[in-house]
Amino acid sequence: MGSINGKKYIERLDKLKTEIWYDGQKITGKISEHPAFKGLLQTKAHLYDMQLKPAFKDIMTFPSPTTGDPVGMSYLMPRTKEDLLKRRHMIELWARQTGGILGRSPDYLNTVLTGLASSAAWLENRNNCFPDHLKAFHEKAREEDLSFTHTFISPQVNRSTMYFGESDEPIAARIVEENEKGILIKGARLLATQGGLTDELLVFSVGKYFFNENEAFAFAIPSDTEGLRFICRNSFVGGSSEFDHPLSSRYEEIDSIVVFDNVLVPWERVFYYKNAEVAEEFITVSGFHSFAKHQVITRQIVKTEFILGLAELIVETINIGEYEHIQGKMSEIIIGLETMKALMEKAENHAALDEWGYMRPDLSTLKVAGTVFPKIYPRLCEIIQLLGASGLITLPTEKAFASDIRKDLDLYVQGATKTAEERVKIFTLAWDLTMSAFGTRQTQYERYFFGDPIRLTSDLYKNYPKDKHAQAIRNFLKLKQ
């Protein structure tokens, strides 16, 4: 079958009988028509549509190794630096459609799955591991152009270091039974972005030592698997007007809690289970981090460009470019952008083949970028707020412009180089990006995308090859040790 278009994507989703709870109610009709999801699904449909358009097809797809049909470039396992660049150009093209704001465009989780599958061989001959399931599932996903959400955060009941999280009733999702059909999961996971709005749910665990073998697993199941329940937070769609809510009306990716109410995961969908060591190490040794970070940082660069463009437009609109402190703030954005771009370029330049012959961008450099962006993104948003100042507070609406008071607005809200309507559009975009509930959730999302920033920072230090530099000082001082 290969790459799908938007219509197919929507149809498939509407057909699923996924259990989604929204504001205390179980969704019953078509999810593509629900006001909280509609904008997002249309945006994603638009992205899928691009895949088969002649203008983009070569960038967005490659011929399936099994059928020759065009399949999504995000499923490509790169073997050369050119493959890496192909992947990046696809990521950029999609990211640019939404200013890098859509965190979970299809390529993100396709890339995650591809990163894991590219290292399936590592699972061979390990206990309770099914590398073939993983490879087969990757192929199926590629050929059917499946969409995904995933979830790896366990409930945050108690973050004390002294607390080991045991209770009689499973809280964090875990295996409660194992039978001939598969494994039975009970408990919850937090924060599945777009949870319930994709064909499949990918579940695995990252980044901590596991005290409990029953919490160590990786699998994928259809969103409408029995016993699977998505509990959404309130939507941050501000309204359906693109004028008033240029971002949230289209890009709001709702988050949800995932409840596993004795969910059966059939064996062919289990990649590994009850193997804490594998659960801990596979994430690290596989292509997961390299490829996922390559996707994410590419998107973040596009987003930083979006912010720079928007900032410059604000400066232009109210003519503040001559102020030294404004120049300083604009330069901060430029430095942020150039730093991220340079790190991406370095990671690609220093890409190397892994032991299975896949070309991985340099992880150490990507980690630096992944530590930098969560630090600068909140500041970039703050700069937008500082440029817009009180102008971000009193924004007239689309309907106001369509009413009798338009003449007042045209006169009193005009910008130095812009009509009132243009100015309001620009400032409304700035508001939606940095000050709406949608925008602040984006800030929190970027801040924690790669995990706890404190842990990331510690990890960067611990794994960085610093001893050669220490050795240089030992030589400089003629020390023995």
In the region spanning residues 426 to 455, those forming contacts with a copy of itself, defined by CB under 8 A, are 426, 429, 434-437, 439-441, 443-445, 447-448, 452, 454
Please name the helix (run of DSSP H) or strand (run of DSSP E) that holds residue 186, with its range, or none: strand 182-193
Q: What's the Cα-to-Cα distance from 22 to each of 32, 156, 222, rounded to whole Å?
A: 14, 21, 20
Give residues with Cβ within 8 angstroms of 308, minimum separation 6. 330, 333, 334, 337
Task: Give the closest residue to 356 by CA, choosing from 129, 117, 108, 132.
Answer: 117
Residues between 143 and 172 with contacts to a copy of itself, criterion CB under 8 A: 153, 155-163, 169, 171
Q: Compute the least distance from the CB of residue 76 to a copy of itself, in Å.
A: 24
Q: Compute the least distance from the CB of residue 281 to a copy of itself, in Å.
A: 22
Q: Does 399 bind a copy of itself (CB under 8 A)?
A: yes
Residues between 210 and 239 with contacts to a copy of itself, criterion CB under 8 A: 229, 231, 233-234, 238
- Alpha carbons 1 and 3: distance in angstroms, whole number: 7
- Cβ proximity to a copy of itself: between 181 and 466 the closer is 466
Select from 107, 251, 365, 373 the one that contacts a copy of itself (CB under 8 A). Answer: 365
Q: Compute the least distance from the CB of residue 37 to a copy of itself, in Å.
A: 16
Give residues with Cβ within 8 angstroms of 467, minimum separation 6. none
- Alpha carbons 362 and 343: distance in angstroms, whole number: 10
Residue with tokens 């959400």: 149
Q: Does 467 bind a copy of itself (CB under 8 A)?
A: yes
Residues between 92 and 151 with contacts to a copy of itself, criterion CB under 8 A: 96, 99
- Contact region with a copy of itself (CB under 8 A), list: 78-86, 174-182, 352-360, 472-480: 472-480
Binding mask of the shown chain, residues 300 to 339, with x at each position contacting a copy of itself by CB under 8 A: -----xx-xxx-xx--x-xxx-xxxx-xx-xx--xx--xx
Confirm if 173 and 260 have CB atoms less than 8 A apart.
Answer: yes
Q: Is 206 left (phi over 0), alpha (psi -120 to 50) or beta?
A: beta
Q: Does 35 bind a copy of itself (CB under 8 A)?
A: no
Confirm if 231 and 209 have CB atoms less than 8 A apart.
Answer: no
Q: Does 20 bind a copy of itself (CB under 8 A)?
A: no
Q: Compute the least distance from the CB of residue 248 to a copy of itself, in Å.
A: 10
- Alpha carbons 118 and 99: distance in angstroms, whole number: 29
- Cβ proximity to a copy of itself: between 324 and 355 the closer is 324
Residue with tokens 């045209």: 410
Q: Does 208 bind a copy of itself (CB under 8 A)?
A: no
